Amino acid sequence: MGKGMLKTLLGGVIAATAMLAAPAMAEEPLKIGFVYVGPVGDMGWTYQHDQGRKAIEKALGDKVKTTYVESVKEGADAERVIRQLAASGNKLIFTTSFGFMNPTLKVAKRFPNVKFEHATGYKRAKNVSTYAARFYEGRYVAGILAGRMTKSNVIGYIGSFPIPEVIRGINSFTLALRKVNPKAVVKVVWVNSWFDPGKEGDAAKALIDQGADVIMQHTDSPAPMQIAQERGVYAVGQASDMSRFGPDAQLTAILDVWDGYYVQRAKAVLDGTWKSEDTWGGLAAGMLALAPYNKAIPADVVAEAEAARKAIIAGTLHPFQGPIRDQSGKEVVPAGKTIPDGELLGMNWYVEGVQGEIPQ
């Protein structure tokens, strides 16, 4: 918080100096700004976005110049930071958290010549694109591994907030889990935080004490992985490869990969081909990937998971293809049908096999 403020202040000073110096330069590089919700050192969400920023620098060299502001609070503060970046000459600005949606649109209106890219949002404008990744595809593959590796048939799932993105992940995971192991169930514990290592660790302990022998997480710290390692159970990493925290525990990890998309968008601005669009890419688009599988997983299970991953990429398998039953056992999606994207984006119900109710 304090650091973010200081950086913004410094940014202002630097921007002011840059403006004075600007006329002297012949061909200016494209300035690209990033707004992060967390610290670049969170080893999760923000860390992966920053990897994407570095990928742009690597791919486009001195044609671009990137800056970032980290730990920006969602809300009024965000608008100030985004406007600051736009005012100081950034022509492409990535705002990488859902809560930056309205501030981004507000600033975009005032700066029609600046292109904006907002992650995970749904509101667009002429100069505002949105992008997100289909992380549920990775969770589907993880569900196969969990279903084959569990002995207790109880899976513990640590959720952050009961929003469609997280619920979609739980459902996708559970559908794959039950497909390979109809006896397995999923216990969900919400910690109401994206990042609280202590609480995430406690949630993992509680789930293990209740019989879970595979831990899934949709929160950002490696604490659950560490607990899984300590207690001798399996876990699936989130956002980045967490195997350092659980060398024996990590079955795989669902990796956020923004590199390709970020480079492509920066190039589009340089070529003048940038258009406002909505991108929701999955495994096929390379917007997410899976970390190397745990060595303890038998070869036939690895083959099964890989087959599913390849089928998703090929488009022959969709995690949400029927038949799908809800918690009461009622068939809500018949065989041969697939839940359309519009419904996936607003998903607010559990599939069969998930225990408990979604908090309202």
Interacting residues with other proteins (CB under 8 A): 1-3, 6, 38-39, 41-43, 71, 156, 162, 187-193, 195-199, 201-203, 205-207, 209-210, 221-223, 226-227, 244-245, 355-357, 359-360
Q: How far is the CB of 82 from other proteins (least distance, A)?
A: 22
β-sheet with 214-217: strand ranges across: 185-190, 154-159, 214-217, 234-239, 250-256, 288-290
Is the Cβ of residue 193 or residue 276 nearer to other proteins in the bound state?
193
Q: How far is the CB of 188 from other proteins (least distance, A)?
A: 7
Is the Cβ of residue 156 or residue 282 nearer to other proteins in the bound state?
156
Q: How far is the CB of 222 from other proteins (least distance, A)?
A: 6
CB 333 within 8 A of CB 322: yes
Is the Cβ of residue 1 or residue 20 nearer to other proteins in the bound state?
1
CA distance 159 to 203: 9
CB 355 within 8 A of CB 188: yes
Is the Cβ of residue 12 or residue 356 nearer to other proteins in the bound state?
356
Per DSSP, helices labelled H in the chain are 2-21, 45-60, 76-87, 101-110, 135-149, 164-180, 197-209, 223-231, 259-271, 299-314, 341-345
* Distances, alpha carbon 49 to alpha carbons 41, 153, 233, 239, 286, in Å: 11, 35, 30, 10, 14
Is the Cβ of residue 104 or residue 174 nearer to other proteins in the bound state?
174
Q: How far is the CB of 66 from other proteins (least distance, A)?
A: 19
* Distances, alpha carbon 130 to alpha carbons 94, 125, 137, 218, 327, in Å: 10, 9, 19, 22, 32
CA distance 297 to 305: 10
Q: How far is the CB of 283 from other proteins (least distance, A)?
A: 25
Q: How far is the CB of 355 from other proteins (least distance, A)?
A: 4
Is the Cβ of residue 264 or residue 355 nearer to other proteins in the bound state?
355
Bin 80: left if φ > 0, else alpha if -120 < ψ < 50, else beta: alpha
Q: How far is the CB of 227 from other proteins (least distance, A)?
A: 8
Is the Cβ of residue 119 or residue 207 nearer to other proteins in the bound state?
207
CA distance 354 to 97: 28
The SS3 assignment for 253 reads strand
